[in-house]
Amino acid sequence: MQSTAHQSALEAKHASIDRRLAEESHRPLPDTALIAELKKQKLRLKDEIVSH
């Protein structure tokens, strides 16, 4: 089982990516490549959070 600190760090990183994703999505001309990469990173983190 993961330590609480590690779990919290993963969740904080997930939230940070979520904010960056929201910011980029609301720009007049969002960078679709960046959005796709952020979504992949967010999904990887979520998988890691859930698997532990």
- 21-25, Cβ contacts within 8 angstroms, sequence gap of 24 or more: none
Torsions phi, psi for 34 (to 5 deg): -65, -45
pLDDT in tens, 5-49: 999 999 999 999 999 999 999 999 999 999 999 999 999 999 998
For position 19, what pLDDT does the model report?
A: 97
Range of the domain at 42: 4-51
Q: What is the pTM of this model?
A: 0.83
Query: Could you give the number of structural domains in the chain?
Result: 1
